[in-house]
C-alpha cells in the first residue's frame, strides 16, 4: 500500500545486529548473551532477525558458536531468523539446525569479490546458483546480498549498469529477495536514485532490500529516497552495532534500528517494533560488548520526553 506521498505505509525491518553487528566486534560475546539478545529483539517486535552465520569457524571466530546459538533462540510466532550461508558446507550446517531462511553473498566488484569471497564475481554467481538450487530443494527462503552495490573500497564508484547486470543474472537464479548493500557507507540519495531507477525495471519493489551504513551520515537520507521509490525492506542493526570494516576505527557502520524506527514513526509508516524494548536489547548488548553504541536515537534516550514544570 502507498500513501498519497507515494511512500509505502508499511516497512519490513531486517535486524542484522546479531550477525553483521557482532561479527565486527573485537570481543567474543558469550553464546548465552547472543541468545538473550536475539530473544530481546524478538520481544521488541523484530519480525526478521539475521541470527548468525554458518561461515567457516576460523574466518569469523565471533560467530563460531552458530550451531549452538541457533537451535536455542526463541522462535517467535510469525518471525523469521535467516542465517548467512557462504558455502554448501554452511548450508548443511544451517539445515542441521532447521533454519528456514538463508542469506547468500555476492559482490558488485571484482576486487571486493576477490578479497572477501576469494572468487571472481562470475564464480560467486555460480556458487549462488548452486546454493539456491540446493536451498529450493529444502524449501528454504533465500535472500542474496550484493556487496559494494554503490562504492567499492578498492575500485571506487560502481556504475548502476554493473549492478543491474549482476542482478539480472541473480534474478534468473530466482532468489526471494536481493539486498543491495552500501558496504562502505558512502552512497548519497543521488546514487540510490540512479541505482533504483536501473533496477526497478527488472523487478518490482518487493524484490529489493536496502542495507545502508551510516558511516558518512547519509543512511536515513538514503532510506527516504528508497521509500520514495516504493522500497519497503530495510536492514538495520540495534544500537547501530557493528563498525564499518572499511573505515577508520570508531567509524559508524550499520544504520541503527532505533534511528530507522524513529524516522518511520515520524512518517507514520508501520514496522512493528517497539522502540523502548528495542533500546532494552541495545542496552543489554552494549554491556555484553563493553562499549557504548552509536545510534543517535538510542543515545538521546528514545522519543523526546515532556519535561514537567512544577509550580510552587
- Kindly indicate which of the ranges 13-21, 44-52, 156-164, 259-267 contains the residues binding Mg ion, using the contact rule CB under 5 A: 13-21
* 131-136 contacts, C-beta under 8 A, 24 or more apart: 131/85, 131/87, 131/88, 131/91, 131/102, 131/104, 132/104, 132/173, 132/174, 132/175, 134/88, 134/91, 135/91, 135/102, 136/174
In whole angstroms, the minimum distance from the beta carbon of 284 to Mg ion comes to 21
Stretch that binds Mg ion, among 17-25, 172-180, 244-252, 271-279 (CB under 5 A): 17-25
3-state secondary structure of 284: helix
Helix or strand (DSSP H, E) at 107? strand 101-107
Q: Nearer to Mg ion by C-beta: 20 or 191?
A: 20
Contact stretch for Mg ion (CB under 5 A) within 7-15, 28-36, 131-139, 254-262 = 254-262
Closer residue to Mg ion in complex, CB, 7/295: 295
Residue count, binding to Mg ion (CB under 5 A): 2
**Which of residues 244 and 263 has its CB atom nearest to Mg ion in the complex?**
244
Q: CA nearest 87: which of 52, 124, 138?
A: 124
Q: In this chain, which of 23, 218, 254, 286 binds Mg ion, going by CB under 5 A?
A: 254
Task: Name the catalytic one among 46, 152, 179, 244.
Answer: 244
Residue nearest to Mg ion (CB): 20
User: Site residues for Mg ion, window 21-80 (CB under 5 A)?
Assistant: none
Q: Does 20 bind Mg ion (CB under 5 A)?
A: yes
The count of C-alpha atoms lying within 13 angstroms of the C-alpha of 70, restricted to the half-sphere facing its C-beta, is 26
| 280 grid coordinates | 532494552
Q: Is 167 labeled as catalytic in the residue annotation?
A: no
Q: Nearest to residue 290, comparing CAs of 33, 53, 35?
A: 33
Which residues form the catalytic set? 244
Binding site for Mg ion (CB under 5 A): 20, 254
Amino acid at each position: 500500500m502507498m500513501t498519497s506521498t507515494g511512500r509505502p505505509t508499511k516497512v519490513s525491518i531486517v535486524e542484522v545486529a546479531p550477525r553483521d553487528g557482532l561479527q565486527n566486534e573485537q570481543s567474543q560475546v558469550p553464546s548465552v548473551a547472543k541468545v538473550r539478545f536475539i530473544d530481546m529483539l524478538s520481544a521488541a517486535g523484530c519480525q526478521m532477525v539475521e541470527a548468525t552465520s554458518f561461515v567457516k569457524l576460523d574466518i569469523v571466530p565471533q560467530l563460531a558458536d552458530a550451531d549452538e546459538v541457533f537451535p536455542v533462540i526463541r522462535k517467535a510466532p510469525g518471525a523469521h531468523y535467516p542465517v548467512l550461508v557462504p558455502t554448501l558446507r554452511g548450508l548443511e550446517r544451517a539445515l542441521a539446525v532447521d533454519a528456514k531462511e538463508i542469506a547468500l553473498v555476492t559482490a558488485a566488484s571484482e576486487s571486493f569479490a576477490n578479497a572477501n569471497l576469494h572468487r571472481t564475481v562470475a564464480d560467486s554467481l555460480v556458487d549462488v546458483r548452486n546454493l539456491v538450487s540446493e536451498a529450493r530443494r529444502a524449501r528454504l527462503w533465500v535472500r542474496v546480498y550484493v556487496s559494494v552495490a554503490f562504492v567499492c573500497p578498492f575500485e571506487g564508484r560502481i556504475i548502476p549498469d554493473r549492478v543491474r547486470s549482476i542482478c539480472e543474472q541473480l534474478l534468473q537464479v530466482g532468489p526471494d529477495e536481493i539486498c543491495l548493500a552500501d558496504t562502505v557507507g558512502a552512497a548519497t540519495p543521488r546514487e540510490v536514485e540512479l541505482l533504483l531507477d536501473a533496477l526497478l525495471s527488472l523487478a518490482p519493489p518487493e524484490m529489493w532490500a536496502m542495507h545502508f551504513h551510516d558511516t558518512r551520515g547519509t543512511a536515513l537520507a538514503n532510506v527516504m529516497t528508497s521509500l520514495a521509490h516504493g522500497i519497503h525492506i530495510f536492514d538495520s542493526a540495534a544500537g547501530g552495532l557493528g563498525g564499518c570494516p572499511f573505515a577508520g576505527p570508531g567509524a559508524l557502520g550499520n544504520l541503527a534500528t532505533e534511528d530507522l524506527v524513529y524516522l518511520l514513526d515520524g512518517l507514520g509508516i508501520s514496522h512493528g517494533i517497539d522502540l523502548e524494548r528495542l533500546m532494552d536489547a541495545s542496552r543489554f548488548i552494549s554491556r555484553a560488548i563493553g562499549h557504548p553504541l552509536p545510534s543517535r536515537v538510542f543515545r538521546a534516550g528514545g522519543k523526546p520526553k515532556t519535561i514537567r514544570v512544577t509550580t510552587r
